Amino acid sequence: MPASPIRKLAPLAEAAKARGTRVLHLNIGQPDIETPSCIRDRLHQLESKVLEYSPSTGTPEFIRSLRHYYERRIGVTLETSQLLATTGGSEAILFAFLACANEGDEVLVIEPFYANYRAFATMAGLKVVPVTTRGGDGFHLPPNEVFARALTPRTRIVIVCNPNNPTGTVYSREELERVAAFCREHGLFLVSDEVYREFVYDGARAVSALELEGVDDLVIVVDSLSKRYSACGIRLGALVTRNTEVYDACLRMAQGRLSPPGVAQFIAVGAESLGDDYTRGVVDEYQHRRDVLYEGLRAIPGVFLHKPEGAFYCIARLPVEDAEHFAAWLLTSFEHEGATVMLAPANGFYASELGRSEVRIAYVLKEEDLRRALDVLRVALERYRER
């Protein structure tokens, strides 16, 4: 099991904090935006004397709220029997991998990729095979010939993350249709991780795989409340599929693990009262942070990045040979006016040897902290080169 590249420098960060250094976290997607009060307030309405298991599929109220959400947000009508409540999007990814492939099979991942895909693939006994995207192309999808070169008789799944963590890329409908056609042609499942669906900037919209035509039997959508409602600790997500066999396989796993968290589902239905203005406000805030980060990083000599189109991450190439060494050095040997920054080295987001000079940056800090972090990073890069 690989170590998480997002968390593996955590002991160094703890040591820096113990020395009294302020650590500005650019390494992890833990938003600082408040969870809406209509969700938090539900906690006080909980009257159950027994905190029982919920149905393995999720409570009827929560599943109903998910159906309303898909209807409103992407205009698709889903049956109750096409939705499974999961313990975060994380469990949905694991269920999808376990349901759609056998041990020793292969999953094509768009590289750089959300590092935990490798962890879930390892748990499911699957091999991760990268299909590389490049910063110069804005990390958009390569032509299908490139996907075809990665195919073997053991390939079963393509997983895409849209909007993308870690690149911030939002794929166009045409790109998604191309991948879907590839999956159709080669008999592969398409797992679409859409946990950042709302987070798209400059007035654009992320197309859901649920909107694609002719691939109902291939598509499994992974969803989560973590980012949508700034509620990572609620540990609630969903798996959506119109393929009844995949659904049944996932349902058996869901029954085996008994139940998704019941209290979480009770409070999550509070989100029903949120209007579009909530999402708009949050997205505007992230777009502003994206702009601050993008302009700030571009102004640092030697830093290259593609302007993120969605989610709240970017991959930035730094003027260093080994970004992991630099990230560790930031925590062990550097501070500027009492602060340092924590970065996620990007090599852990690649299955190939690429990404050594790159870091993934999450812009989940408020503007003031983000500006401070940019200042610290600029000074750190100067100092690191002077060593």
Binding site for ligand PLP (CB under 6 A): 29, 88-90, 114, 161, 165, 193, 195, 224, 226, 232, 237
- Minimum distance of ligand PLP from residue 163's CB (angstroms): 9
Whose Cβ is closer to ligand PLP: residue 160's or residue 320's? Answer: 160
Whose Cβ is closer to ligand PLP: residue 90's or residue 340's? Answer: 90
Between strands 219-224 and 127-132, the pairing is unpaired
Structural contact between residues 162 and 171, judged by C-beta atoms closer than 8 angstroms: yes
| Rounded-to-integer distance, Cα 192 and Cα 174, Å | 15
| Rounded-to-integer distance, Cα 201 and Cα 179, Å | 23
- Minimum distance of ligand PLP from residue 113's CB (angstroms): 8
- Minimum distance of ligand PLP from residue 87's CB (angstroms): 8
| Rounded-to-integer distance, Cα 207 and Cα 18, Å | 45
Using CA atoms in the order 103, 163, 306, 111, what is the torsion angle rounded to 10 degrees? 10
Element (H, E) at 147: helix 144-149
In degrees rounded to 5, what are phi and psi of residue 178?
-65, -45
Tokens of 1: 């099991």
Structural contact between residues 189 and 209, judged by C-beta atoms closer than 8 angstroms: no
- Minimum distance of ligand PLP from residue 337's CB (angstroms): 30
Whose Cβ is closer to ligand PLP: residue 344's or residue 381's? Answer: 344
- Minimum distance of ligand PLP from residue 219's CB (angstroms): 16
Whose Cβ is closer to ligand PLP: residue 129's or residue 311's? Answer: 311
- Minimum distance of ligand PLP from residue 114's CB (angstroms): 4
Whose Cβ is closer to ligand PLP: residue 326's or residue 363's? Answer: 363
Q: Which residue has the tokens 């909107």?
A: 211
- Minimum distance of ligand PLP from residue 164's CB (angstroms): 8
Angle between helices 88-100 and 244-256 (to 10 degrees): 120
Nearest C-alpha neighbor of 192 from the set 265, 279, 100: 100
- Nearest residue to ligand PLP, scored by beta-carbon proximity: 88
Tokens of 80: 């109750």
Whose Cβ is closer to ligand PLP: residue 219's or residue 376's? Answer: 219
Whose Cβ is closer to ligand PLP: residue 342's or residue 381's? Answer: 342
